[in-house]
Chains A and B, each alone.
Chain A
Amino acid sequence: MNEWLDLAVALLILSNFMLVNTSRLMSCIRIVAIQAVILSVIALLSHLHALDVRLVVLVIITVALKALVLPQVLKRVTVGTGVERELSPFVGYSLSLMAGGGLLALSFLMSHFLTVPEPGLSRFFLPASLFTIFTGLFIIIARKKAVTQVMGYMAMENGIYAFGVSLAIHEPFIVEISVLLDVFVAVLIMGVAIFHISHEFDHIDTDQLSV
């Protein structure tokens, strides 16, 4: 069982690299959705010894939101803007991959200093979730398109959610709900903003917003 958990965490890490390396917006959306599914699997696997209804419900809601609803919303936005791919990001794709390698090393280094009090967890879990957060941050910085930046934001949220659901689950409900609520509202508002941007500018490059 632990091996499956390890495998899922490794998949999480790899999905981040794919996200960093993908220029097609549709593929990005798909990767982030898959990431959400992987996260939910991790959450379930790491609490397999003490599974309760609350966690299962939470995971189901997460999957429904992050893997079905949000990608659908974003896909519609993307189709509406008529942009297919991020052509000239601030940081090129090969360089992004290398930066991803660096970030991975950084997150392993950081998790070296923190001991995880949860025994059932994969050893790679903390670095993997930190790495997901870093990847999201990196994408926000390194990409120009508003949609891609939202993807980065969602990846970051995924990492935070992974961390929370595996380590902070014993805290009352509000914390997890707030994560979901945050993604939901932020993406809806950001989606509206992207609509406005594409309407106002005929493109969604955020670096050309300034005149």
Chain B
Amino acid sequence: MNHPPYIHVAVSLAAAPFLFGVINKVKAGFAGRKGPPLFQMYYDIVKLMRKGAVYSRTTTEMFRLSPLVSVAVGILAVMTVPLGQTESLISFHGDIFLLAYLFGMARFTTVLAAMDTGSAFEGMGASREVQFSMLAEPAFLVGLAALSLLTGESSVAGILSALRNGTGTATGHVVIPICVASLFIVLLAENSRIPVDDPNTHLELTMIHEVMVLDHGGMDLGFIHYGSALKLWVFASIIARILVPVKMSSPMLDAALATASLLAVTVAVGVVESTMARLRMLRVPQLLTGATILSLVALIIAMR
């Protein structure tokens, strides 16, 4: 029907770090700065790849394993999620769980690696990460379950193409906006963006995700950055696809629309980051529970 799914996987893998550039540009624009170049993330990753890593004597294999796991997970996840109106490379019944728990596994190894260093700060970050993701995970899963119930499909690609074909009933008009809101909150939480976490903070006490990777360096850090770029890409493309479920006449138009919607979601993240203050730690669970509740509402409505 159109270009094979390999191409979009290749494009995704290549273009993922670009999203960070977009977010940073938006933030810079709001602040009235020029900001780092759009391709800054690529420069960073390339620079880090050329450097060697330093390992503490107290760490074990786990510490070296975790960056690799996060990149591998990112690549796998990209394969399960279609870009634009394409099909995904891997798709089977119930792969929504695969998607959710792939990221779960990445987080698990990251947390273990953080604990491995024995640093008090990293342990604290790990504890926060686990606490927040414990709340974000049900929001994500229940949101996907609501969509799955709505469309009668149980794979990510199936759900998304069913939404495009308009098989969703009248209930869809209620369920989809709620799901999108919930998934967007999950996106912010999972990718450690403001208002949950601040990727630019340099104060260990307030960090969540960043504090866990403080001891990683060189190639490992590059992997971690690349993995998180892929993660952002996956979430953003799911939301973009739900928001814009139309199929254009030609593949070129499709690709353009997909790019535009993806960029729109990314810009939205940037706008949220620029306009909102970071929540107090105590308020974060409230936000995430709110997201879970939103998903739950969507699920209940879809169930009827």
Instruction: Please say whether the chains A and B touch (CB closer than 8 A).
Output: yes
In the complex, the answer to whether B289 meets A7 with C-beta atoms within 8 Å is no
In the complex, the answer to whether A10 meets B297 with C-beta atoms within 8 Å is yes
Within 8 A of B (CB), among A42-91: none
In the complex, the answer to whether B300 meets A3 with C-beta atoms within 8 Å is no
A-contact 0/1 string along B174-185, CB 8 Å cutoff:
100010000000
Within 8 A of A (CB), among B285-304: 285-286, 289-290, 292-294, 296-297, 300-301, 304
In the complex, the answer to whether B290 meets A97 with C-beta atoms within 8 Å is yes
Q: How far is the CA of A98 from the CA of B285 in the complex (A)?
A: 11
User: How many residues from B make CB contacts under 8 Å with A?
Assistant: 17
Instruction: Specify which of A2, A17, A105 is in contact with B290 (CB 8 Å cutoff).
Output: A17
Q: How far is the CA of A77 from the CA of B170 in the complex (A)?
A: 43
In the complex, the answer to whether A6 meets B292 with C-beta atoms within 8 Å is no
In the complex, the answer to whether B174 meets A7 with C-beta atoms within 8 Å is yes
Q: Does A108 contact B (CB under 8 A)?
A: yes
> Do A21 and B304 contact each other (CB < 8 Å), given the known contacts A6-B170, A7-B174, A13-B297?
no
Q: How far in angstroms is the closest Cβ of chain A from B77?
A: 28
Q: Does A101 contact B (CB under 8 A)?
A: yes
Q: Does B3 contact A (CB under 8 A)?
A: no
Residues on B with beta carbons closer than 8 Å to the beta carbon of A93: 286
In the complex, the answer to whether B296 meets A104 with C-beta atoms within 8 Å is yes
Within 8 A of B (CB), among A6-42: 6-7, 10, 13-14, 17, 21
Within 8 A of A (CB), among B162-193: 170-171, 173-174, 178
In the complex, the answer to whether B296 meets A21 with C-beta atoms within 8 Å is no
Count, A-B residue pairs, CB within 8 A: 49
Instruction: Specify which of B285, B286, B301 is in contact with A10 (CB 8 Å cutoff).
Output: B301
In the complex, the answer to whether A97 meets B286 with C-beta atoms within 8 Å is yes
In the complex, the answer to whether B300 meets A105 with C-beta atoms within 8 Å is yes
Considering only CB atoms, which chain B residue lies closest to A100 in the complex? B293
Residues on A with beta carbons closer than 8 Å to the beta carbon of B294: 14, 17
Q: How far in angstroms is the closest Cβ of chain A from B176?
A: 11
In the complex, the answer to whether B304 meets A123 with C-beta atoms within 8 Å is yes
Q: Does A195 contact B (CB under 8 A)?
A: no
Q: How far is the CA of A114 from the CA of B170 in the complex (A)?
A: 23
Considering only CB atoms, which chain A residue lies closest to B181 in the complex? A14
In the complex, the answer to whether A17 meets B293 with C-beta atoms within 8 Å is yes
Q: How far in angstroms is the closest Cβ of chain B from A54?
A: 30
Q: How far is the CA of A65 from the CA of B171 in the complex (A)?
A: 32
Considering only CB atoms, which chain B residue lies closest to A11 in the complex? B174
Considering only CB atoms, which chain A residue lies closest to B285 in the complex? A94
Q: Does A184 contact B (CB under 8 A)?
A: no
Residues on A with beta carbons closer than 8 Å to the beta carbon of B292: 101
Q: How far is the CA of A6 from the CA of B178 in the complex (A)?
A: 12
Residues on B with beta carbons closer than 8 Å to the beta carbon of A101: 292-293, 296
Within 8 A of A (CB), among B264-295: 285-286, 289-290, 292-294
Residues on A with beta carbons closer than 8 Å to the beta carbon of B170: 2-3, 6
Q: How far is the CA of A3 from the CA of B174 in the complex (A)?
A: 8
Q: How far is the CA of A7 from the CA of B172 in the complex (A)?
A: 10
Q: How far is the CA of A104 from the CA of B292 in the complex (A)?
A: 13
Q: How far is the CA of A123 from the CA of B300 in the complex (A)?
A: 12
Q: How far in angstroms is the closest Cβ of chain B from A106?
A: 11
Within 8 A of B (CB), among A158-203: none
Residues on A with beta carbons closer than 8 Å to the beta carbon of B301: 6, 10, 124
Q: How far in angstroms is the closest Cβ of chain A from B186?
A: 16
Q: How far is the CA of A15 from the CA of B74 in the complex (A)?
A: 37
In the complex, the answer to whether B174 meets A10 with C-beta atoms within 8 Å is yes
Instruction: Specify which of A6, A7, A97, A104 is in contact with B300 (CB 8 Å cutoff).
Output: A104
Q: How far is the CA of A93 from the CA of B289 in the complex (A)?
A: 10
In the complex, the answer to whether B297 meets A104 with C-beta atoms within 8 Å is yes
Q: How far in angstroms is the closest Cβ of chain B from A165?
A: 21
Residues on A with beta carbons closer than 8 Å to the beta carbon of B171: 6
> Do A10 and B178 contact each other (CB < 8 Å), given the known contacts A3-B173, A94-B286, A97-B286?
yes
Q: How far in angstroms is the closest Cβ of chain B from A163?
A: 18
In the complex, the answer to whether A124 meets B304 with C-beta atoms within 8 Å is yes
Residues on A with beta carbons closer than 8 Å to the beta carbon of B285: 94
In the complex, the answer to whether B173 meets A7 with C-beta atoms within 8 Å is yes
Question: Ordered nearest first, which 9 A-B pairs have the shortest CB separation?
Answer: A97-B289, A10-B174, A3-B173, A94-B285, A3-B170, A6-B174, A94-B286, A94-B289, A101-B296
13 A-B pairs with CB atoms under 8 Å apart are: A2-B170, A3-B173, A6-B171, A7-B173, A10-B301, A14-B297, A17-B294, A97-B293, A98-B289, A101-B292, A105-B300, A108-B300, A108-B304
Interface residues of A (CB under 8 A from B): 2-3, 6-7, 10, 13-14, 17, 21, 93-94, 97-98, 100-101, 104-105, 108, 123-124
Given A7-B174, A104-B297, 5 extra CB contacts under 8 A: A3-B174, A17-B297, A94-B289, A101-B293, A104-B300
